[in-house]
């Protein structure tokens, strides 16, 4: 039976996704040209990397990582991605219980001409670029033409994304969001693109991207753990871009963030608040600011910043609280490529009600997290995927 919130103690589960924090290539990495990728392996050698608290939890005890401590404070596992992809949407959907057997469409040669023409017609603005591009480089190369003509900079990447960049003085942010909504309406089968992303920028040449990014995602094709928890009467709180990734489905409350530091502050505020349910967090700086820019030092420093956050958060956890730390894919900043990488992800889980030091080995799917979250709350998993490890680790 599904246990309703009103009939149970106030249980809280904090699920943190360190965006792109991979821990080594998956066996099928060659299919994505990601042989040898290891995001954690790249940053742990940098002098800016100092993560004793993650080490104490068991990050380096995870299979294939190396350098573990004698008595880890968390239980831990290495997670394989079962879905066919390495992008944010598919990774988070799998964490939440949906396996994607087919990859979302990508556009290495740009979007079809007829699609672009229709988008121009609906927005009343011309499109420039229309090819895969780095987000920082595209505004350098096409920003001046955009400023002169008002044309929208449309570009993509190795992921299933339709990105629209515009200067905030030329296209107001809310207008850019409306253009993204138009694109989202257009991008249905066969162009079932995972995310339409608003990429506003500001300032003088070479310009800077602002914090007003906004993702417009596909709706998940079936129920996720968020839907099931919500129907069972639990709070489902989103921090960061979680709301966008799930198109708001199953989410009762959401908070946008401007940085990892902002996300961690919001987490601490929510920890000091009474609720019963799931707090689902994405810390995007690892990926957006450092992985995609091949900034090893910046990535290492961001890991250290998160590590410094942990003691206060762990110290204030309540008796029934559970913390789980994971990732959605890799983005090795040491390779010549700036795209995501097909990697295993870490899983660390702790709390007063969780056994310490249980090695859960290598799990077959990210969706084991979903099954475990639902198991913790006593909610039936329905059509969602995954095998719960809650019974193995609960005290």
Contact 263, 283 (CB under 8 A): yes
- Residue 383, CB half-sphere, CA atoms under 13 Å: how many? 8
Mean pLDDT of 165-174: 98
Q: Mean pLDDT, to the nearest integer, of 185-208?
A: 95
Which pLDDT tens digit goes with each residue over 118-167?
Answer: 999 999 999 999 999 999 999 999 999 999 999 999 999 988 999 999 99
For the chain, the domains span 5-101+221-393, 113-217
Task: State the pTM of this model.
Answer: 0.91
Who has greater pLDDT, 5 or 17? 17
Question: Quick one: average pLDDT of 273-285?
Answer: 97
pLDDT, one tens digit per residue, over 8-33 is 568 999 999 999 999 999 999 999 99
Quick one: 113-217 is in which CATH superfamily?
Answer: Phosphopentomutase (3.30.70.1250)
Q: What is the mean pLDDT of residues 267-296?
A: 97
Torsion of CA 116, 112, 183, 101, to 10 degrees: -170
Rounded Cα distance, 15 and 278, in Å: 7
| pLDDT averaged over every residue in the chain | 96
Does the pLDDT at position 290 exceed 70? yes
* Helical spans, DSSP H, in the chain: 39-43, 52-57, 88-95, 113-123, 135-149, 173-186, 225-231, 242-245, 260-271, 285, 296-315, 368-377, 390-393
The pair of structure tokens assigned to 28 is 């099928």
What beta strand segments (E) does the chain contain? 12-18, 75-79, 127-132, 152-156, 161-167, 195-202, 208-209, 214-217, 235-239, 253-255, 277-283, 322-326, 345-350, 359-363
The pLDDT of residue 189 is 87
- Which pLDDT score is estimated for 153? 98
Mean pLDDT over residues 281-298, rounded?
A: 96
pLDDT reading at 7 higher than 90 = no
How far is residue 275 from each of residues 122, 232, 237, 269, 363, measured CA to CA in Å?
43, 14, 9, 12, 30
> Length of the chain in residues, anyone?
395
Q: What is the mean pLDDT of residues 293-302?
A: 97
Instruction: Please state which CATH number belongs to domain 5-101+221-393.
Output: 3.40.720.10
Q: For residue 295, what pLDDT band results from cuts at 50, 70 and 90? A: very high
């Amino acid at each position: 039976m599904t246990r309703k919130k009103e009939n149970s103690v106030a249980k809280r589960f904090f699920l943190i996704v360190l965006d792109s924090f991979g821990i080594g290539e998956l066996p099928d990495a060659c299919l994505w040209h990601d042989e040898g990728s290891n995001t954690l392996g790249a940053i742990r050698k940098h002098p800016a990397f100092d993560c004793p608290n993650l080490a104490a939890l068991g990050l380096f005890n995870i299979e294939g990582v190396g350098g573990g401590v004698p008595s880890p404070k968390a239980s831990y596992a290495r997670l394989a991605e079962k879905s066919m992809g390495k992008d944010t949407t598919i990774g988070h959907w799998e964490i939440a219980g949906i396996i994607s057997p087919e990859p979302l469409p990508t556009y290495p040669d740009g979007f079809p001409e007829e699609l672009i023409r229709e988008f121009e017609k609906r927005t009343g603005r011309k499109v420039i670029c229309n090819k895969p591009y780095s987000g920082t480089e595209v505004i350098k190369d096409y920003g001046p033409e955009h400023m002169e003509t008002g044309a929208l900079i449309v570009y993509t990447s190795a992921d299933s994304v339709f990105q629209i960049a515009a200067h905030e003085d030329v296209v107001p942010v809310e207008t850019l969001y409306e253009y993204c909504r138009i694109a989202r309406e257009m991008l249905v089968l066969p162009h079932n693109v995972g995310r339409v992303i608003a990429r506003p920028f500001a300032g003088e040449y070479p310009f800077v991207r602002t914090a007003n990014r906004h993702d417009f995602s596909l709706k998940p094709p079936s129920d996720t753990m968020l839907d099931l928890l919500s129907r069972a009467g639990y709070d489902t709180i989103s921090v960061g871009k979680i709301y966008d990734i799930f198109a708001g489905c199953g989410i009762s409350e959401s908070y946008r963030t401007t940085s990892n530091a902002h996300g961690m502050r919001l987490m601490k505020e929510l920890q000091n608040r009474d609720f019963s349910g799931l707090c689902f967090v994405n810390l995007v700086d690892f990926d957006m600011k450092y992985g995609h820019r091949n900034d090893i030092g910046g990535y290492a420093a961001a890991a250290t910043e998160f590590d410094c956050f942990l003691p206060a958060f762990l110290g204030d956890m309540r008796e029934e609280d559970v913390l789980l730390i994971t990732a959605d894919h890799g983005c090795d900043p040491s390779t010549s490529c700036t795209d995501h990488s097909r990697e295993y992800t870490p899983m660390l889980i702790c709390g007063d009600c969780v056994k310490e030091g249980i090695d859960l080995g290598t799990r077959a799917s990210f969706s084991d997290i979903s099954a475990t979250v639902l198991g913790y709350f006593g909610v039936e998993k329905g059509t969602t995927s995954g095998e719960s490890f809650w019974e193995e680790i609960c005290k």
